[in-house]
Amino acid sequence: MSQPFDPLILASSSPRRRELLEMAGIPFEIIVEPIDETPRAGESPSQLVARLSVAKARIVAERLPDRWVLGADTVVVVDGEVFGKPLDDEDAVRMLRLLQGREHTVTTGFSLVRKDIEHQIMKVCHTVVRMAPAVDSRIRRYVSTGEPRDKAGAYAIQGAGLQFIAEIHGSYSNVVGLPLDEVVAAWEGVGGGFIG
């Protein structure tokens, strides 16, 4: 049986999620296994992120059954359309054009899984974000920086993408990629400890 202070396993290569856990003082290691992230027919955004967060955590937990594994998935939703990471720069421009001057919802699912005791916590969190209108030249200038390429919805609120944000209702860290207040509460709830 592992000790209470075994580091959490983060089943994500996202630098933003890593930075958020570091800020919270949670000791962790990163182990990522690839999964098929294709949405299923009729699956809602909440169902999608919930399923993928569990799948990402469970595949790593199979290798490390006596450790807690954190999986997460984030999407941006506007008018029922799910925006994941853009396929290329033109797709990023398309997404940002559609988001301008409107509200969208950032939906993140996260799961804490431990295989040896068959315990799982899964939560889905939503943040509503309103973007200000922006001219096309500003969108293209932003996309040319490369920042949107690996971001759901093609923008980074913690980076230069903040220039487009007019209002936010809910968890800021959720928009970055992890609802930190919820994750820390869940980690503490399963006996996770802090070092230092």
Task: Give 120's contacts (C-beta < 8 A, 6+ positions apart).
Answer: 54, 57, 111, 112, 113, 114
- Per the listing, tokens 């027919």 go with 41
Alpha-helix residue ranges (DSSP H) falling in the chain:
15-24, 45-61, 89-99, 136-143, 172-176, 180-189
- Per the listing, tokens 């983060």 go with 10
Among residues 170, 192, 10, the alpha carbon closest in space to that of 106 is found at 170
Neighbours of 41 (CB within 10 A): 4
Catalytic residues: 73
b/e map 4-14, b = 16+ CB within 10 Å: eebbbbbbbeb
Contact between residue 53 and residue 62 where contact means Cβ atoms under 8 Å apart:
no
Q: Are strands 103-114 and 69-78 parallel, antiparallel or unpaired?
A: antiparallel
